[in-house]
């Protein structure tokens, strides 16, 4: 079987690393990119080219079966064994063994010596302590001191301790990494898209434990009746021309609530599963979902890795997480190609894209134990595009006031944030009401330029604002002049107070609609287009000289 170019490059990088260095390498390949083919090639070469013996470790039953099947394609008649209590197999004497870590971590001597151990989903190796992987690998090292380890993962980082490759870890360096965006552009992964919604959840009140949001508080926040009902309606609407929807819930009761609403209010073919679901029932539900008998499958943390359903064309994140790896793994369920889908829609109700960044350019902290991923050392003002330090609450150039973080109440609408870098979502809103006011920077003296603040109400308790820099110079003033000329034939005023007065006199065209753009990687949305009424007819230039800055009628 011919490997894809990046798969062959990954294999070559492993061999170079093992030949030239004494430590253990890791390969980073996105979900859906064919890690099992890379794994199968390396395992087969260990036996057929170097007359060695290989052990492949994984943590879930689905991965064991998938890996064993792929390895057989490369073995040319040589047997591949499986050691797994769940699969009722305990093979030990074959050149390649695929094993569940839970079944073998105390049975190193029973399996015998191996030259190479390959670990799938290697981000699950604990950073410290006496976990199953560490205990087993230490025992294997005693049997064969020359044994080497290779890890494969889509997410080379952990919630508690950051990157998995360090000098003191079992895996020490990434020898090859393929990017999500490049594989999408080359046609190897399915494009992800996201749809616009209105508001984002407020997770500021959630407490964290071991770097993750507390499960009980998260479920209580996400499982409110109004929120579940509204979110389900939106999900069903977006699924009108799609085939398979995988939903990640915040807890068991939340999952059952989602299932109930989808079935009873929308007549959806839906089921839910979680860790406590009996194996036989779980297998039956997964089979039904894969063959199309189930359209919606709700789960609580059990289908994040090792789950292969290429036809999934809608992934719903109805839970927030502080774990970058979990976020990427959930989105990754939609990466696989399938002839019946052109893309996969990601609906994010947990503000995860804004927290972690687009899935092809996530923000990783070196230590995520606190649950904080940090912030770039600079930010761009959405009004005048000036790059300023992140500590500024107000743009020093144009006076734009950055909204405080996480101030909105949770609403059952998917996030507008793009799921891939550069991706944007434009949403058109009807303007219900609007207001004009003079804005002065906090703590500024009288000589500091003021701005015209325009606020658009586009729904109940839903607003967008912009700042028109009529008192500034350069680029900001040029933008203000263009904005003004679209609304009136009057000369642009020299002060924000005069601009407000003219607006209150009804001498500006009224906006009927605004188009708001959310762009992946940008924290704040921007108004990019307007629907305006006709410009009012101006008989003569109004006499407004009597207005002082502090006397503008509001």
Q: Which residue segments constitute the domains of the chain, with CATH numbers given?
A: 5-178 (3.40.50.300), 192-356 (3.40.50.300), 423-551 (no CATH)
Residue 273 to residue 286: CA distance in whole angstroms: 9
Give the C-alpha distances (Å, rounded to integers) separating 520 from 35, 201, 358: 27, 17, 6
- Residue 69: the pLDDT is 86
Helix, coil or strand: residue 90: strand
CB-based contacts of 538, cutoff 8 Å, min separation 6: 488, 489, 490, 507
**What is the average pLDDT score of the chain?**
83
Rg (CA), the chain: 28
Residue entry with tokens 């094993």 = 99
Q: Pull the structure tokens for residue 14.
A: 């492993």
pLDDT (tens digit, 9 = 90+) per residue, 471-493?
998 888 889 999 999 999 999 99
Under a CB-based contact definition with an 8 Å cutoff, are residues 493 and 499 in contact? yes
CB-based contacts of 396, cutoff 8 Å, min separation 6: 386, 388, 441
Under a CB-based contact definition with an 8 Å cutoff, are residues 168 and 175 in contact? no
* Confidence tier at 377 by pLDDT (50, 70, 90): very low
Under a CB-based contact definition with an 8 Å cutoff, are residues 228 and 448 in contact? no
Longest dimension (CA), the chain: 97
Residue 174 to residue 455: CA distance in whole angstroms: 49
- Residue 447: the pLDDT is 84
Residue entry with tokens 């798969």 = 7
Helix, coil or strand: residue 172: coil
pLDDT (tens digit, 9 = 90+) per residue, 45-67?
999 999 999 999 988 777 888 88
Number of residues written out for the chain: 554
Measured from the Cβ of residue 248, the count of other Cβ atoms closer than 10 Å reads 27
Residue 521 to residue 141: CA distance in whole angstroms: 44
- Residue 552: the pLDDT is 44
Pairing of the two strands 314-317 and 245-248:
parallel
pLDDT at residue 181 greater than cutoff 90: no
Residue 369 to residue 373: CA distance in whole angstroms: 10
Mean pLDDT computed over 194-202: 56
Under a CB-based contact definition with an 8 Å cutoff, are residues 118 and 42 in contact? yes
CB-based contacts of 444, cutoff 8 Å, min separation 6: none
Q: Smallest Cα–Cα separation from 509: which of 486, 543, 490, 482?
A: 486
- Residue 51: the pLDDT is 92
Residue 134 to residue 30: CA distance in whole angstroms: 25
pLDDT at residue 361 greater than cutoff 80: no
Measured from the Cβ of residue 537, the count of other Cβ atoms closer than 10 Å reads 7
248 vs 461, residue with greater confidence: 248
Directed axis angle between helix 252-266 and helix 215-222, to 10°? 20
45 vs 526, residue with greater confidence: 45
Q: Is the pTM of this model over 0.85?
A: no
- Residue 419: the pLDDT is 73
What are the residues facing 467 on neighbouring strands?
Answer: 453
Long-range contacts of 47-51 (CB under 8 A, 24+ apart): 47/75, 47/78, 47/95, 47/96, 48/75, 48/76, 48/78, 50/115
């Amino acid at each position: 079987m011919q490997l894809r170019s990046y798969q062959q490059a990954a294999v070559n990088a492993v061999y170079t690393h093992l030949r030239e260095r004494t430590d253990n390498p890791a390969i980073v390949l996105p979900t859906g990119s064919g890690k099992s083919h890379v794994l199968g090639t390396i395992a087969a070469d260990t036996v057929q080219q170097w007359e060695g013996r290989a052990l492949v470790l994984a943590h879930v039953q689905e991965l064991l079966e998938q890996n064993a099947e792929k390895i057989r394609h490369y073995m040319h008649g040589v047997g591949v064994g499986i050691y797994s209590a769940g699969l009722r197999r305990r093979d030990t004497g074959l050149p390649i063994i695929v094993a569940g870590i839970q079944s073998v971590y105390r049975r190193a001597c029973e399996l015998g010596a191996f030259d190479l151990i390959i670990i799938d989903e290697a981000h699950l190796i604990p950073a410290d302590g006496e976990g199953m992987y560490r205990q087993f690998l230490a025992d294997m090292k005693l049997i064969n001191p020359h044994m080497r380890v290779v890890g494969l993962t889509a997410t080379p980082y952990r919630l508690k301790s950051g990157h998995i490759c360090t000098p003191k870890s079992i895996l020490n360096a990434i020898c090859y990494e393929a990017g999500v965006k490049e594989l999408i552009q080359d046609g190897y992964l399915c494009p992800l898209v996201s749809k616009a919604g209105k508001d984002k959840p407020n997770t500021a009140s959630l407490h964290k434990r071991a770097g993750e949001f507390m499960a009980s508080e998260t479920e209580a926040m996400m499982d409110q009746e109004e929120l579940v009902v509204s979110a389900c309606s939106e999900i069903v609407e977006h699924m009108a021309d799609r085939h398979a929807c995988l939903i990640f819930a915040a807890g068991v009761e939340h999952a059952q609530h989602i299932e109930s609403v989808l079935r009873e209010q929308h007549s959806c073919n839906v089921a839910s599963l979680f860790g406590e679901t009996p194996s036989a029932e779980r297998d039956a539900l997964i089979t039904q979902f894969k063959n199309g008998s189930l359209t919606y499958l709700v789960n609580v943390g059990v289908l994040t890795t090792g789950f292969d359903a290429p036809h999934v064309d809608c992934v719903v994140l109805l839970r927030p997480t502080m774990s970058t790896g979990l976020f990427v793994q959930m989105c990754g369920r939609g990466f696989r190609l399938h002839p019946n889908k052109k893309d996969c829609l990601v609906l994010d109700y947990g503000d995860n894209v804004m927290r972690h960044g687009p899935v092809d350019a996530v923000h990783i902290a070196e230590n995520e134990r606190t649950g904080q991923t940090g912030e770039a050392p600079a930010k761009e003002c959405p009004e005048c595009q000036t790059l300023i330090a992140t500590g500024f609450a107000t743009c020093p150039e144009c006076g734009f006031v950055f909204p405080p973080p996480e101030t909105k109440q949770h609403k059952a609408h998917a996030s507008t944030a793009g799921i891939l870098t550069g991706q944007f979502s434009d949403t058109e809103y009807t303007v219900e009401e609007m207001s004009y006011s003079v804005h002065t920077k906090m703590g500024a003296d009288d000589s500091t330029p003021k701005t015209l603040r325009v606020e658009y109400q586009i729904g109940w308790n839903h607003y967008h604002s912009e700042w028109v820099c009529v008192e500034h110079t350069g680029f900001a003033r040029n933008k203000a002049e263009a904005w003004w000329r679209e609304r009136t034939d009057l000369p642009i005023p020299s002060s924000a107070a005069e601009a407000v007065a003219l607006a209150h006199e009804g001498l500006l065209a009224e906006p009927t609609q605004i188009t708001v753009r959310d762009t992946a990687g940008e924290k704040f949305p921007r108004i990019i287009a307007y629907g305006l009424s006709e410009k009012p007819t101006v008989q003569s230039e109004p006499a407004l000289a009597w207005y002082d800055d502090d006397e503008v009628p509001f």
